[in-house]
């Protein structure tokens, strides 16, 4: 009778281990959800704490690694963000949001060629529902390389897909300003502001155009509009405050 008893004990032990494993997984998933809630609120430190705890139990979860990458982006640790976005893509090769985030991590580190390659891999994917993000980000990468013709090409492609997309309007205007065509930038910005008047980055672009022309009163009014629409303590709001204090 010893063998059946041993087999029964082994079976009970296996069931107990399985139950514990499932319980740990449920706890880790709940911890991950809490981390995501912190991410949504912009509380990156708290998010990171919860997500790192969850990673101990879910080391091969691509969505968790993408969340960790986003948290590190918020902490401006773009190197660590890159590492986790790469893990997410390796675990789930069709995970386009993670690929887009990886491209952004490259962009933040001025790895422009890698960013362009990354965005190019999925920008033409027919199943990708928001290719204007990829095209606009490619525009920023080419802008970083000072290749203005290509930058404007991709910003324009983004705007063809989604007119008045702020990121692309801002990028296209920036390219015009850097290329010595502030008039084109001003016309584009004013046209967009008629439809989206509460876009602080476009008011900042206008302020910079006015500064180039030494139109100090107009520049000051534009910086005030930035403060009106930009959330407090953001880099844009702080830049506006600095300009107005001067």
- Predicted confidence (pLDDT) at residue 159 exceeds the cutoff of 90: yes
Q: How many domains does the chain have?
A: 1
Flag whether 80 is in a domain: yes
Structure tokens, 244: 């107005």
Q: Could you tell me which of 190, 139, 187, 184 has the C-alpha nearest to residue 161?
A: 139
- Predicted confidence (pLDDT) at residue 15 exceeds the cutoff of 60: no
Flag whether 44 is in a domain: yes
Flag whether 103 is in a domain: yes
Flag whether 125 is in a domain: no
Flag whether 87 is in a domain: yes
Flag whether 73 is in a domain: yes
Contacts of residue 95, Cβ cutoff 8 Å, sequence gap at least 6: 62, 66, 88, 89
CATH number at residue 46: 1.25.40.10
Rounded distance, CA 200 to CA 223, Å? 9
Q: Span 157-162, mean pLDDT?
A: 96
Which pLDDT score, from 0 to 100, does residue 124 have?
Answer: 75
Q: Span 121-139, mean pLDDT?
A: 85
Task: Report the percent of the chain where pLDDT is more than 70.
Answer: 91
- Predicted confidence (pLDDT) at residue 18 exceeds the cutoff of 80: no
Which pLDDT score, from 0 to 100, does residue 21 have?
Answer: 77
Residue 176 vs residue 12, higher pLDDT: 176
Model confidence over 134-145: pLDDT tens digits?
A: 999 999 999 999
The answer to whether the CB of 96 falls within 8 A of the CB of 122 is yes
Chain centre distance of CA 136: 12
Q: Which domain holds residue 65?
A: 23-109
- Predicted confidence (pLDDT) at residue 13 exceeds the cutoff of 60: no
- Predicted confidence (pLDDT) at residue 127 exceeds the cutoff of 80: no
Predicted confidence band at 1 (pLDDT cuts at 50, 70, 90)? very low
Flag whether 189 is in a domain: no
CA angle 74, 70, 60 (to 5 degrees): 145
Rounded distance, CA 160 to CA 158, Å? 5
Flag whether 11 is in a domain: no
């Amino acid at each position: 009778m010893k063998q059946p008893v041993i087999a029964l004990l082994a079976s009970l032990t296996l069931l107990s281990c399985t139950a514990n494993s499932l319980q740990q997984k449920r706890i880790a998933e709940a911890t991950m959800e809490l981390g995501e809630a912190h991410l949504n609120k912009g509380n990156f430190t708290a998010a990171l704490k919860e997500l790192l705890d969850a990673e101990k139990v879910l080391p091969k979860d691509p969505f968790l690694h993408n969340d960790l990458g986003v948290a590190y982006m918020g902490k401006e640790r773009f190197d660590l963000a890159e590492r986790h976005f790469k893990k997410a893509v390796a675990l789930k090769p069709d995970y386009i949001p993670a690929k887009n985030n990886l491209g952004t991590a490259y962009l933040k580190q001025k790895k422009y060629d890698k960013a362009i390659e990354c965005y190019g891999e999925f920008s033409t994917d027919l199943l990708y529902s928001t290719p204007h993000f990829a095209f606009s980000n490619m525009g920023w990468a080419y802008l970083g390389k000072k290749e203005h013709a290509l930058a404007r090409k991709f910003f324009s492609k983004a705007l063809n897909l989604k007119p008045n997309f702020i990121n692309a309007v801002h990028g296209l205007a920036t390219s015009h300003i850097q290329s010595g065509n502030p008039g084109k930038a001003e016309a584009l910005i004013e046209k967009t502001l008629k439809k989206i008047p509460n876009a602080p980055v476009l008011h900042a672009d206008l302020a910079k155009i006015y500064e180039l022309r030494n139109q100090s009163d107009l520049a000051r009014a534009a910086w005030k509009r930035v403060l009106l629409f930009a959330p407090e303590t953001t880099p844009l709001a702080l830049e506006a405050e600095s300009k107005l204090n001067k």
